Each structure stands twice: as structure tokens, then as C-alpha cells.
Amino acid sequence: MKRVFIIAALIVLSIMVAGCGKSEVGPEDVSTAIPSPDSTPAHTEIKNTDTPNPTEVTASSKTIDGLEVPALYAGFMEQQGWLAEDQLWFFSNEDWNGDGTKEAVAAFGRSEGDSRELDSIYVLQEVNGKVTTVGEPYGSGSYEAVQVREIALQDRQEPVLELSLTNEIEMNGFALVEFDGNELVMLTSSTAVTGAGEDKLVDADQDGQYDGYTSERWDYDVLYYPVTREFKWQNGGFEPTKTTVDVGDYPDERMKVVKQYAVLRTIDDGLSNEIAGRLKEICPDCTDEQTSFVNADWQQNISQLITTRAEDYLTEIKLDELKKESVIALTYSLDNGTSYKLTFTLVLTDQDRWIITDIQ
């Protein structure tokens, strides 16, 4: 009997040892499971941790001379060879003429030290994945354009280009260029023909839209009188609204009185309170008939004489010291022998001022 019990115990022990060869992982033991090579997921996301280069070409754009340009336009510029010698100064892709279609405007220029010069401005358009030029390229004209930028004019929907113009000496002005139809055309320009002046746009109400500009002159085109003219953007253009002139002190000599009268009548545009006031002081009782003698022909012909050869055209033909009266002739002769003459009668007032009392 003892022997039977021992044999039964051995059989039970062998069954228990065999059961220890198998192991089953339950939900509580998933951290101990080791996947086999065949259990790799069907999709694995791989993240790129490299920092992108801000100047490299992407699928949609390229940076050229600091400006971001759509890759399609950048490729076209390179194909045309525009970037071989020039720099890209300006690029903007929007609706420039209000027709509901975007056009890209690209300006190219050269820089050497402090000197800059615009070469050309192109209008580009993309249709069905192909870029073409629209119209003819636009240049800077007689003065150098040193900067191109986009601006807005008061109550105008379409943007315009401002070209900053200079002769690199004493003249700074501007030109405004619009895309009209299929061409870049000048909307307006303000520069000094004499090479001396300062013209700049004005945003009077500070709303981000330019509503006028000022034009300062001081050279022989205004007979050396400091003149500031103001223009306002209205009715689709710039209209003169005010002129300020530094007329200086009242002339202390009778010759200078006649000279100033002729000069102010020549540069008068009818918008200067200073000129109107001084002319009234010089000739307080002059009639319309008398003042009409200094007409457009005189204004055109005497300008240079007044500033360069006063002794050739002003002659005192009579002086009555007792009556404190003087008669001065203003004479101008054309190359064909024709002569023009105006005679001014002046008297000395109690305030020790010479004034004009008659013009013939």
C-alpha cells in the first residue's frame, strides 16, 4: 500500500513540472511582452527634426534679394536672365488695375556703394501655370529712380507705385506709376526741372493713404524766391491748393521795388497770400488795366533778365527829388530787334517806402 502511494505522488509531481513549461500573458502583464520581428506596424511616422533654411527654395516660393517670390515667377525671372546683373528691388502680386485678376509687378535695379539706379519694371501674369510679361517694361526716365514701393492714394482702390527720384545733388522728387489696362503709365510726377527742389507725398490725416504732396523750390525757376506749393489728391488727380512764398522785407530802394514787382508777378500762381499782400503794398492803387501790362509774354521773357542782367533792362529815366517821384523803365529786346517797354512811376511815401502809382 505504501508503494502505491509513492507511485501516485510521483505521477502528480511530473504533471506539475510539465505545466511550468507554458506561460500565458494576461492584460496585467502586457509590459513584459516582446514583439517578434514580424509584428512591425504597417505605417510608421518618421519626424524630421532638422531646422529648415529660410532662403532655400520650397515647393511654393523662393527668396530673392530678401523678397519672397512664388517659385513659378522666380523660375521665369531666372529664365529671362533678369537676375544676372540686376537685383530684385520690389515684388508684389495683386490686382493692380481693378479687373479682378492678379498681376505681379517686379522691379529690378543696380546698386554700387551708395549709388542706386532702377533698370526696369515688369508686369507678369500667370495663366494655366505659365508666366508671361504684360505690356512693355517701364524705366525711370530722366532722373534716377533709387527706390520703388507700393502706396495707396486716398479713396483709390487700386494701388500705385512710387518711384523715388533724385539727381544725387539738390533734387529729390517722385513719380507715381499705375497699371492702366495692360500698360504701366505715369499717373503724375513732381521733380524740379532746374535740378534743385524737394517734393514729397503727404498723408495729412495719417490714415495710411496719401492725400497730397508738397513741392519746394528755391532756384532760378522761381527767380530765387523760396516757394512751397501744396497739392491735394481729388477728382482723380493732384490739384494745387496753396502756395507759400518768402517775399522777404519790403525793398528799400526804388529799383528793387520795380524788380520785386516784376518777379512776383512772374511767379504768381494766384494761390499765394504773401505775393498778393506784397503786390498790394507795392502798387496799392493800380488798376486792372495797369497790372494787365505785365502779361504772360512779359513773364516768359523777363525771368532770366531779372535774375542775371538787371542793369540791362531797368533804367531810371526821371527822378524828382522835390516831389519824391521817380520814373523807371523796364525794357526787353528780342533777338529779332523787337523791343518791349514798360514805364513805372513811383513815389516815396511818408513811411519812407517807394510805391508804384502808375504803369504804362
Task: Give the strand pairing for 196-202 and 170-180.
Answer: parallel
Exposure letters 228-239 (e unless 16+ CB within 10 A, then b): bbbbbbeeeebe
Give the count of domains, the chain: 2
Residue 35 maps to a domain: no
Residue 53 maps to a domain: no
Instruction: Show the domain range for 316.
Output: 254-359
- pLDDT of 33 reads 34
3-state secondary structure of 181: coil
Residues 297 and 235 in one domain: no
Q: Rounded to an integer, what distance in angstroms lies between the CA atom of residue 162 and that of residue 170?
A: 20
- pLDDT of 195 reads 83
Residues 129 and 225 in one domain: yes
| Average of per-residue pLDDT values in the chain | 82
Residues 341 and 295 in one domain: yes
Residue 306 — very low, low, confident or very high, per pLDDT cuts 50/70/90? low
Q: Alpha-carbon dihedral of residues 168, 171, 172, 174, nearest 10 degrees?
A: -110
Residue 175 maps to a domain: yes
Instruction: Read off the pTM.
Output: 0.78
Residues 163 and 308 in one domain: no
Q: Alpha-carbon dihedral of residues 19, 20, 21, 25, nearest 10 degrees?
A: 100
Residues 103 and 238 in one domain: yes
- pLDDT of 22 reads 38
Please state, in angstroms and as integers, the Cα–Cα distance from residue 87 to each residue in 64, 83, 122, 147, following that order: 8, 6, 13, 12
Residues 118 and 221 in one domain: yes
Residues 231 and 265 in one domain: no
Q: Which of 245, 274, 309 is the last residue of a domain?
A: 245
Residues 292 and 326 in one domain: yes
Residue 50 maps to a domain: no
Residue 221 maps to a domain: yes
3-state secondary structure of 329: strand
**By the 8 A CB rule, do 76 and 131 touch?**
yes
Residues 90 and 218 in one domain: yes
Query: Which residues are CB-neighbours of 193 under 8 A, at least 6 positions away?
Result: 221
Who wins on pLDDT, 112 or 188? Answer: 188
Most confident of 180-194, 240-254, 284-298: 240-254
Residues 241 and 258 in one domain: no
Residue 198 maps to a domain: yes
Flag whether pLDDT at 1 surpasses 80. no
Cα angle vertex 245, ends 243, 247, to 5°? 155
CATH number at 276 reads: 3.10.450
**Residue 264's Cα: distance from chain center in Å?**
32
Q: Which of 245, 270, 304 is the last residue of a domain?
A: 245
Span 215-234, average pLDDT: 94
**By the 8 A CB rule, do 302 and 313 touch?**
yes
Q: Which of 245, 265, 289 is the last residue of a domain?
A: 245
Residues 220 and 343 in one domain: no
- pLDDT of 193 reads 83
- pLDDT tens digits, residue range 55-92? 344 459 999 999 999 999 999 999 999 999 899 999 99
Residue 292 — very low, low, confident or very high, per pLDDT cuts 50/70/90? confident
Encoded amino acid at 339, one letter:
S
Residue 45 maps to a domain: no
Span 290-295, average pLDDT: 80
Residues 76 and 224 in one domain: yes
Query: How is residue 72 written as a grid cell?
Result: 513659378
- Comparing CA positions, the residue from 182, 164, 175 lying closest to residue 105 is 182
Residue 129 maps to a domain: yes
Query: How is residue 57 written as a grid cell?
Result: 527654395
